[in-house]
Amino acid sequence: MRRRRQLTTCLVVASWCLNCTGYQVGSSESSEPANRYSPTVSATPTPDSTKPLRITTPVENDAIGELPFVEGTVSDPNAKVWVIVHPMEVTDYWVQPPVTLREDGKWKVQIHIGRPGPADVGKHFEVMAIANPTSDLTSGDKLKAWPTAKWKSQVVEVVRK
């Protein structure tokens, strides 16, 4: 029970520790975990290009305009993909227009980052793509949390320029 609590704590702060994984943070030592109960993970987690849903553009901390394009990939070319924007100063999440999905699983959509004009310049926003949501979505919907869906991409934080 104690090990589970430690693992949860470490994942919450998005770092790996010797207690959970057997690796020391920033260690370049052996790739073997310290004990047989530790999961096999790298000391520095990296984005997994094999995830079923990913945002490829923009990337973390990009400065983007009011109407940027968001691009990504999904493993199921028949999925219903939506992009959600969360202005970090408020608790609302905004559903963007449905994406244009190609046969190869690549998708693209133009989204809205903040209000028109300079009011939101310099403000931070989170962007996430979801696939096959469990409830119906409509462009412009205002939600109180990320919607539940079969797949979720990574969250990308951007700054409005």
pLDDT of residue 53 exceeding 80, the answer is yes
pLDDT of residue 35 exceeding 50, the answer is no
Answer with the residue of higher pLDDT: 109 or 49: 109
Q: pLDDT for 67-111, tens place per residue?
A: 999 999 999 999 999 999 999 999 999 999 999 999 999 999 999
Answer with the residue of higher pLDDT: 7 or 139: 139
Q: Position of tokens 């994406």?
A: 99
Q: How would you write the chain as a 3-class SS string? A: CHHHHHHHHHHHCCCCCHHHHCCCCCCCCCCCCCCCCCCCCCCCCCCCCCCCEEEEECCCCCEECCCCEEEEEECCCCCCEEEEEEECCCCCEEECCCCEECCCCEEEEECCCCCCCHHHCCCEEEEEEEEEECCCCCCCCEECCCCCEEEECCCEEEEEC
pLDDT of residue 142 exceeding 50, the answer is yes
Q: Residue 50 has what pLDDT?
A: 75
CA distance 24 to 9: 15
* Residue 74 φ/ψ, nearest 5 degrees: -140, 140
pLDDT of residue 34 exceeding 80, the answer is no
**Domain range annotation of the chain:** 1-46, 53-160
pLDDT of residue 66 exceeding 80, the answer is yes
Cα of first residue to Cα of last residue in the chain, in angstroms, is 47
Average pLDDT over residues 27-56: 54
Q: Residue 77 has what pLDDT?
A: 93
pLDDT of residue 14 exceeding 80, the answer is no
Average pLDDT over residues 42-60: 74
Average pLDDT over residues 109-125: 97
In the predicted model, what is the mean pLDDT of the chain? 80
Q: What is the CATH number of domain 53-160?
A: 2.60.40.10
